[in-house]
Amino acid sequence: RALVTTNGSVMHVLSPENCPIDILDNERTINDFINDKIELGSVENEEPFYVADLDSIFKRHLKWLSNLPRVKPFYAVKCNNTEAVLRMMSALDTGFDCASKGEIQMALSLGVTPDKIIYAHTTKPLSHIKYACTHGVDMMTFDSEDELIKISLCHAKAKLVLRIAVDDSESMVRLSSKFGARLVSVGKLLERAGELGLEVIGVSFHVGSGCTGSLMFKKAIADARHVFDAANVLGFQMSLLDIGGGFSGREDFQVKFEEFSEVINGALDELFPPDSGVQIIAEPGRYYVESAFTLAANIIAKRVILNEVDEHSEDEENRPDRMMMYYLNDGVYGSLSCLINDAAHTTVEPYLNRAVESSEQRYQSVIWGPTCDSIDKVTDSCWVPELHVGDWLLIDNMGAYSVSISTDFNGFERAHIYPVVTAETWHFLNLSHTYNIY
């Protein structure tokens, strides 16, 4: 199945007047772009930066369409709210999962229509619900009686989606301890929605971010089926199933996206077949952006730590007499908060933007972030050739929960973002609506 873009205003959405995007022509690669940026740099211009590869997002979208053809993605803005990313998603005609008034405002300001937005947060401030109401955003999630009461007070025409808690035990970031109604309380909640005259149109869940077990989706879809059946008995017209996020965006992830898709498609065909008339949506965040961003950070300081000489060690000749400490200008308070927020085993692998010869002496090195806090550590121990102040390190797969979480703690600037797209993809996106490529 080829890409379908129904959005006739791709040119407008992604046009350079709206949002600066560098177009890579003449076979220039992302690496060429990064090297040019680094070479043009000066002492005054050593700030960290990202390169956002919009082609990567485009390819992920094609992969989504071919693997999950029944599931319409509503991109989770919280994962990465870079304007060029949102414009790209809009050009690809996805929906948007917004978590607050601010995210709804952002989507609307780019020309996204309210029917393409789900306000997917179960604990909303009253004023944000009112904002959604006055701007025509009707679809929203809930998981408690108090939320139903708030919604009935200020958005009585809302189209409600009941979020249920599901097994998230195989995910890096678990969410069901905080959100989602338990199955035992679903009946009472639906009855209460009925008493308040509210319309419940569907069910949502989230198996947790960075899910490692495809069967979690199968179980959750079965749970959702139970809720659909209970709601149908109570007279609700249930028409929407939202299978949330949880899909990795890394090519090297332990479970392939194809495996998740196979399990999901099987469960959907069995429990929500196409003739059930139920629309299926999802809220992927990581999936789209994780591998699209590469971070470049500069070594701003260095300390050499001399090792104590052990005269009895047989290995003394080969053992370097020193270890290195490098201080980067980006760290856990900036782009790398994933090292703290994701599961404890999350690591990143910074690498040099040049080939390393096998003959080069390598030193055990600790890489720190720039702030005064000792938890601001990028890697505990890596073996790299000796580096110098002013050298650059690159880190791949930096697109998820990085730019949207970073702070300027200690006054260090947030990394600048350079979105790039190849001329080929650029032309395809701009022409696809004209030539109706199906």
Q: Is 213 helix (H, G, I), strand (E, B) or coil?
A: coil
Nearest CA to 169 out of 206, 207, 143, 220 is that of 207
The pattern of x and - marking residues 177 through 216 that bind ligand PLP according to CB under 6 A reads -----------------------------x--x-------
If the CB atoms of residues 56 and 371 are measured against ligand PLP, the closer one turns out to be: 56
Task: Name the one residue in this structure whose structure tokens are 């046009």.
Answer: 15
Is 372 an annotated catalytic residue? yes
If the CB atoms of residues 83 and 342 are measured against ligand PLP, the closer one turns out to be: 342
Q: Does 79 bind ligand PLP (CB under 6 A)?
A: yes
Task: Tally Cβ neighbours within 10 Å of residue 38.
Answer: 17
Q: Is 146 helix (H, G, I), strand (E, B) or coil?
A: helix
Task: Give the nearest distance from C-beta 204 to ligand PLP in angstroms.
Answer: 8
Site for ligand PLP in 137-176 (CB under 6 A): 175
Stretch of 46-54, 86-94, 282-290, 310-318 contacting ligand PLP, by CB under 6 A: 282-290
8 Å CB contact between 289 and 250? no
CB-nearest residue to ligand PLP: 245
Would you give the distance in Å from CA 201 to the centre of its chain? 26
Residue of the chain from 60, 128, 286, 433 that contacts ligand PLP (CB under 6 A): 286
Q: For residue 407, give Cα distances in angstroms to 99, 195, 221, 279.
A: 19, 44, 37, 38
Nearest CA to 160 out of 141, 146, 135 is that of 141
Q: Does 97 bind ligand PLP (CB under 6 A)?
A: yes
> What six digits make up the tokens of 340?
């703290």
Q: Does 281 bind ligand PLP (CB under 6 A)?
A: no
# residues contacting ligand PLP (CB under 6 A): 16
Task: Give the nearest distance from C-beta 283 to ligand PLP in angstroms.
Answer: 4
Q: For residue 173, give Cα distances in angstroms to 69, 140, 163, 210, 332.
A: 26, 22, 17, 7, 17
Measured in residues, the chain has a length of 438
If the CB atoms of residues 137 and 324 are measured against ligand PLP, the closer one turns out to be: 137
Task: Give the nearest distance from C-beta 76 to ligand PLP in angstroms.
Answer: 4
- Going by their DSSP bridges, the two strands 117-119 and 293-306 should be labelled as unpaired
Q: How far apart are CA 229 and CA 377, in angstroms?
A: 50
Q: Does 330 bind ligand PLP (CB under 6 A)?
A: no
Task: Give the nearest distance from C-beta 167 to ligand PLP in angstroms.
Answer: 15
The pattern of x and - marking residues 38 through 77 that bind ligand PLP according to CB under 6 A reads --------------------------------------x-
Stretch of 3-11, 28-36, 186-194, 279-287 contacting ligand PLP, by CB under 6 A: 279-287
Residue of the chain from 213, 284, 331, 370 that contacts ligand PLP (CB under 6 A): 284
If the CB atoms of residues 213 and 245 are measured against ligand PLP, the closer one turns out to be: 245
Q: How far apart are CA 226 and CA 298, in angstroms?
A: 53
Q: For residue 313, give Cα distances in angstroms to 20, 122, 320.
A: 58, 61, 13
Task: Give the nearest distance from C-beta 431 to ligand PLP in angstroms.
Answer: 30
Would you give the distance in Å from CA 228 to the centre of its chain? 29
Nearest CA to 85 out of 114, 120, 117, 60 is that of 60
Among the listed residues 98, 133, 211, 372, the single catalytic one is: 372
Q: Does 283 bind ligand PLP (CB under 6 A)?
A: yes
Q: Report the alpha-carbon angle 342-294-398, nearest 5.
A: 10
If the CB atoms of residues 223 and 391 are measured against ligand PLP, the closer one turns out to be: 223
The pattern of x and - marking residues 232 through 251 that bind ligand PLP according to CB under 6 A reads ------------xxxx----
Stretch of 14-22, 281-289, 319-327, 352-360 contacting ligand PLP, by CB under 6 A: 281-289
Enumerate the β-bridge partners of residue 235: none
Task: Tally Cβ neighbours within 10 Å of residue 311.
Answer: 5
Residue of the chain from 10, 120, 415, 420 that contacts ligand PLP (CB under 6 A): 120
Q: How far apart are CA 263 and CA 375, in angstroms?
A: 39
Q: Does 101 bind ligand PLP (CB under 6 A)?
A: no
The pattern of x and - marking residues 380 through 409 that bind ligand PLP according to CB under 6 A reads ------------------------------
Q: Which residues here bind ligand PLP, judged by CB under 6 A?
A: 76, 79, 97, 120, 175, 206, 209, 244-247, 283-287
Catalytic residues: 372
